[in-house]
Amino acid sequence: MFQTHYSRVPAAVAALALATAVGGCGGSSGSSSSGSSGGNAAKPAANAGAGPAYTVSQLRAALLPTVNGARPAAPVQSGDYGSLPGVKASRQTLSGVRISPARCASATATGLASSKFDNVPATVATFRDGADGVSEVLLAPPSSMLQTAIAHNIPAGCSRYHAKVDGKTYTYEIKQEPAPRIGEAASELNVRAAGDSSANIWTVIYRSGGLVGAITLVGADASRAGAEALARAAYAQAQKNLV
């Protein structure tokens, strides 16, 4: 989640969006274009072996070109995941967030927050949809890391917690929702800040063949239906370009 797109969202939410999918900004309405979730899983490159199935160039070509007719709001970033400027900036923000109870810090993180993905080929596109935002992340992890990418666990008693940033404390609610049938496996997460309708984050992460994709939406109009529709569209676009 890139900081330039979070002017209307508390810094704590920006950091939590990073932990949710670490990719672009976020947010879309339920009118996001949809695509089929069916079909075969994206096929890894024939010589992939235990390493990445796709190159950065292949991933970049598989991104959604537009969201509701809007092209990316900032230059697409591609390269090793941990080297992307937006990922670095978001991690820096996250380092200044203090979660309480402390044991709930892991509740804010999906598998993509792990530094294990730092050297994985990746690409990120961010879009604006009115006052909200959308991000798409595509990664090509080694086969041994595919399941880790969509793993998530909310510790008992951590569905509601507090985050302190720059002396201000925000209250959050986090919920794992049943994910739509996309690819071989998927997970879905919703994070909300109490008292701020714009701080509403929906993330859908899926894996398919040697690909991991994540869609994140942030904003007052963000919805589960919108996130799932856009995730299906992103999956369909990747299928078309990576088979």
**Residue-wise pLDDT tens digits, 128-180:** 887 788 999 999 999 888 888 887 778 888 889 888 888 888 888 888 899 99
pLDDT at 97: 81
pLDDT at 108: 60
Q: Is the pLDDT of residue 3 over 80?
A: no
Q: Are 179 and 243 in contact (CB under 8 A)?
A: no
The distance of Cα 132 from the centroid of its chain, to the nearest Å, equals 15
- The values of phi and psi at residue 68, to 5°, are 50, 40
pLDDT at 169: 87
pLDDT at 50: 59
pLDDT at 80: 95
Q: Which residue is associated with the tokens 């080297």? A: 83
Mean pLDDT of 197-222: 89
The distance of Cα 28 from the centroid of its chain, to the nearest Å, equals 13
Please say whether the dihedral angle defined by the alpha carbons of residues 220, 18, 157 and 207, taken in this order, is positive or negative. Answer: positive
- CA 123, CA 79: separation in Å to the nearest integer? 6
More confident residue, 228 or 162: 228
Angle ∠(175,94,105) on CA atoms, nearest 5? 45
The distance of Cα 228 from the centroid of its chain, to the nearest Å, equals 12
Strands (E), 8-120: 77-80, 98-100
pLDDT at 229: 95
Q: Is the pLDDT of residue 45 over 70?
A: no
Listed residue (79, 68, 200) closest to 137, CA to CA: 79
Q: How many residues does the chain have?
A: 243
Mean pLDDT of 14-33: 37
Mean pLDDT of 178-188: 93
Give me the domains of the chain, ranges plus CATH numbers.
Answer: 3-242 (3.40.1000.70)
pLDDT at 48: 40
Q: What is the pLDDT of residues 65-123, one digit of tens each?
A: 999 999 999 899 999 998 988 788 777 777 778 888 888 877 666 667 778 889 999 99
Beta bridge partners of 168: 165
Backbone φ/ψ region at 130: left (φ over 0), alpha (ψ -120 to 50), beta? left
pLDDT at 124: 92
Please state the pTM of the whole predicted model.
0.80
More confident residue, 25 or 108: 108
Cα–Cα separations (whole angstroms), residue 130 to 55, 91, 163, 202, 226: 32, 26, 27, 17, 14
Mean pLDDT of the chain: 78
Listed residue (4, 171, 16) closest to 91, CA to CA: 16
Percent of the chain predicted with pLDDT > 70: 76
Listed residue (72, 87, 75, 85) closest to 14, CA to CA: 87
154-159: Cβ within 8 A, 24+ apart: 154/107, 155/103, 155/104, 155/106, 155/107, 157/101, 157/104, 158/101, 158/103, 158/104, 158/106, 158/107, 159/107
